[in-house]
């Protein structure tokens, strides 16, 4: 359902059984979505690759990839082999979505975020070379390759990068096929896009921009997204917290409440701290805002996350109508 040049995609979090996630992907394809990203949150969710395999076997057109996997919990060569296998199974529909990884995934596995910029850069380099069929020898901060080779992968499997820091965004612009910008404070979105574009200009690359956030057309959608703003708010840059009036005391309160779960912490997050990060209003108002952001920032793709499998079909339907009107 690309609206003009804006591609439509969904990010599914496999907290529900795999069959439920598979069915949501089928519904997304039916509604005309172009791409299905799948969260990789380690032990907090069902296995990423089993879930993506189920989606690949149940769909015919939808592109499929991690949204996002990390460079630490699997050896990058194993990641490359898994993505190449998914690509073969799906008839050339796979992509790799990569980032440094977060505490939800890495902490239970006792993994440290060691030199993330270099690790991610070398992971991208290794995966590209393996997809190309090259024999790879490489020493990275957390992994090594010695005469490693994949002889059967599609050489142009796309690699997308997700990140927030200036250097990671520059890296994505410089070497990735695209960069996913997730729940960015909307007044700052242009700064993030500019950092990606600067990286692209430096190397002559053309990285696409995927903008990801929630579509909020009713109170139920607002309550669905509110818990997921808790950790995003406390990790927001200081200028963003200052603009929203979030004090150090507020941050400490939310962090403390997070120990009892997202829902507990969400009680400390008012509407005015959520709305600047999401597309909100009636369907027509959301369509107009998304169209304006797309025009202003030259966006290539819009990605809606589905946090609740039970209401996911309704969110997909609303998002499809928003995209049709944008």
pLDDT at 1 over 80: no
Residues 171 and 313: their CA atoms lie apart, in Å, by 35
Task: Indicate whether 169 pLDDT > 90.
Answer: yes
Predicted confidence (pLDDT) per residue in 124-153, tens digit? 999 999 999 999 999 999 999 999 999 999
The pLDDT value given to residue 204: 98
Q: What angle do helix axes 283-297 and 312-325 make, rounded to 10 degrees?
A: 60
pLDDT surpassing 70 at residue 98: yes
| Average pLDDT value over all residues in the chain | 95
Cα(325)–Cα(44) distance, integer angstroms: 35
Instruction: Give residue 326's pLDDT band: very low, low, confident or very high (50, 70, 90).
Output: confident
8-state DSSP, 13:
-
Output the CA–CA distances (angstroms, integers) from residue 163 to 84, 97, 240, in the order listed: 23, 11, 17
Residue 20, C-beta contacts closer than 8 angstroms, at least 6 positions apart: 309
Residue spans of beta strands (DSSP E) within the chain: 7-12, 35-38, 63-66, 69-70, 96-99, 136-139, 144-148, 159-162, 178-182, 208-212, 215-216, 279-280, 301-306
Candidates 2.40.40.20, 3.30.830.10, 3.20.20.30, 3.30.460.80; CATH matching 7-215+282-325: 3.20.20.30
What is the predicted pLDDT for the residue at 2?
A: 41
Encode pLDDT of 233-267 as tens digits: 988 999 999 999 999 999 999 999 988 989 999 99
pLDDT of residue 108: 87
Distance separating alpha carbons of residues 24 and 10, to the nearest angstrom? 9
Q: Rg of the chain's alpha carbons, rounded to an integer?
A: 19
Average pLDDT for 101-107: 84
The pLDDT value recorded for residue 259 is: 87
| Ranges of each domain in the chain | 7-215+282-325, 218-280
Which are the contacts of 256, defined by CB distance < 8 A and separation ≥ 6? none
pLDDT for residue 104: 77
CA distance 178 to 193: 11
- Overall pTM > 0.85: yes
pLDDT of residue 105: 85
Helix (H/G/I), strand (E/B), else coil: 107? helix
How deeply is 279 buried, as exposed, middle or buried, from its count of CB atoms within 10 A (0-12, 13-18, 19+)? buried
User: 84: which 2 tokens?
Assistant: 């190449």
């Amino acid at each position: 359902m690309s609206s003009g040049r804006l591609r439509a995609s969904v990010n599914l979090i496999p907290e529900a059984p795999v069959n439920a996630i598979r069915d949501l992907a089928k519904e997304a394809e039916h509604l005309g979505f172009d791409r299905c990203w799948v969260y990789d949150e380690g032990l907090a969710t069902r296995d990423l690759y089993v879930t993506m395999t189920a989606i690949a076997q149940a769909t015919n057109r939808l592109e499929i990839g991690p949204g996002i996997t990390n460079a630490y919990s699997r050896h990058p060569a194993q990641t490359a082999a898994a993505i190449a296998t998914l690509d073969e199974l799906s008839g050339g529909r796979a992509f790799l979505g990569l980032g440094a990884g977060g505490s939800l995934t890495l902490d239970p596995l006792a993994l440290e975020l060691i030199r993330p910029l270099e690790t991610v850069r070398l992971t991208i380099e290794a995966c590209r070379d393996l997809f190309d069929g090259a024999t790879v020898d490489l020493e990275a901060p957390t992994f090594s390759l010695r005469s490693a080779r994949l002889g059967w992968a599609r050489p142009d499997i796309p690699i997308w990068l997700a990140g927030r820091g200036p250097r990671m965004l520059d890296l994505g612009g410089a070497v990735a096929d695209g960069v996913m910008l997730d729940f960015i404070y909307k007044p700052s979105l242009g700064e993030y896009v500019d950092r990606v574009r600067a990286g692209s200009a430096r190397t002559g690359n053309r990285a696409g921009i995927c903008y990801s956030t929630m579509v909020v057309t009713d109170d139920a959608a607002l309550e669905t997204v509110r818990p997921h703003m808790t950790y995003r708010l406390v990790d927001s840059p200081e200028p963003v917290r200052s603009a929203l009036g979030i004090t150090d005391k507020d941050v400490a309160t939310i962090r403390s409440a997070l120990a009892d779960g997202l829902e507990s912490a969400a009680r400390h997050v008012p509407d005015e701290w959520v709305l600047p990060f999401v597309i909100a209003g009636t369907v027509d108002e959301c369509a107009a805002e998304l169209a304006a952001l797309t025009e202003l920032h030259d966006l290539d793709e819009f990605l809606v996350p589905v946090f609740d499998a039970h209401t996911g079909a309704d969110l997909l339907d609303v998002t499809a109508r928003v995209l049709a009107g944008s």
